[in-house]
Amino acid sequence: MKNLFIIFVLIAFACTSSVQKSDGNNSETITAEQTTMEKSIYDFKLNDIDGNEVDFSQFKGKKLLLVNVASKCGYTPQYEDLQKLNEEYGDKVVILGFPANNFGGQEPGTNEDIKQFCTANYGVTFQMFDKISVKGADKHPLYRWLSDKDMNGWNDKEPSWNFCKYFIDENGELKNFFASSVNPMDAEIIQLIES
């Protein structure tokens, strides 16, 4: 009977220890998440549409306009305005296009298809990236940063459709979010670029 009691105490102790270890692991996870939350826009590295790595640290001191794009969307003609913005203000703002197939399957093509479409139809010369997810469980960490106020400082808005826009100032701070319906040549965007 005494041995049975000792075995019971040992089992109870082992269970308590594993719970404490589990709690310890959770606090380690939180610490890792806190490190991620402190990430700056300049810490990201993504492949461009040709598969070459782009280190975002090269954008320090520059204003950025990040746009999730698609080839088969009602807003697709905004490529023309993005290119116009690039031609007129490319010395003041860097436009970054992120193809995504999150909305209505409107970006089904490969990177090669997307590049060919953008070049042939809109003469796109601004920086285009590898197709990523901008919403949902597989959301790319860059778009997690853009749409989580604990990471970027204030904004919780994620893309609601293709051609949503995020404006980053020259200090790497997210300054504004624009819905799909806001044209790239909108006065508010131009004002942010010129300020």
Question: For the segment 93-121, what is each residue's pLDDT rounded down to a tens digit?
Answer: 999 999 999 999 999 999 999 999 999 99
Q: Could you tell me if 3 and 59 lie in one domain?
A: no
Question: Quick one: pLDDT at residue 39?
Answer: 87
Q: What is the pTM of this model?
A: 0.81
Give rounded-to-5 percent helix, strand, coil for the chain.
45, 15, 40
Q: Could you tell me if 103 and 115 lie in one domain?
A: yes
**Residues above pLDDT 70, as percent of the chain:** 81
The C-alpha atoms of residue 195 and residue 101 are separated, in whole angstroms, by 33
Q: Could you tell me if 3 and 86 lie in one domain?
A: no
Q: Could you tell me if 15 and 55 lie in one domain?
A: no
> Sorting pLDDT into bands at 50, 70 and 90, what band is 4?
very low
Give the structural domain span for 55.
41-194
Q: Could you tell me if 56 and 110 lie in one domain?
A: yes
Q: Could you tell me if 29 and 9 lie in one domain?
A: yes
> Sorting pLDDT into bands at 50, 70 and 90, what band is 1?
low
pLDDT in tens, 62-105: 999 999 999 999 999 999 999 999 999 999 999 999 999 999 99
pLDDT in tens, 137-146: 999 999 999 9
Q: How buried is 159 (Cβ within 10 angstroms: 0-12 exposed, 13-18 middle, 19+ buried)?
A: buried
Residue 2 pLDDT > 80, yes or no? no
Q: Could you tell me if 107 and 94 lie in one domain?
A: yes
CATH (domain of 50): 3.40.30.10
Helices and strands counted in the chain (H then E): 6, 7
Q: Which two tokens stand for residue 171?
A: 């200090």
Q: Could you tell me if 66 and 114 lie in one domain?
A: yes
Q: Could you tell me if 174 and 130 lie in one domain?
A: yes
**What is the average pLDDT value for the chain, to the nearest integer?**
86
Q: How many domains does the chain have?
A: 2
Residue 33 pLDDT > 70, yes or no? no
Residue 27 pLDDT > 90, yes or no? no
**Residue 164 annotated as catalytic:** no
Residue 28 pLDDT > 90, yes or no? no
Residue 129 pLDDT > 50, yes or no? yes
Q: Could you tell me if 25 and 119 lie in one domain?
A: no
β-partners of residue 94 are 64
Q: Could you tell me if 65 and 106 lie in one domain?
A: yes
Q: Closest Cα to residue 69, out of 35, 34, 113?
A: 113
Q: Could you tell me if 24 and 61 lie in one domain?
A: no
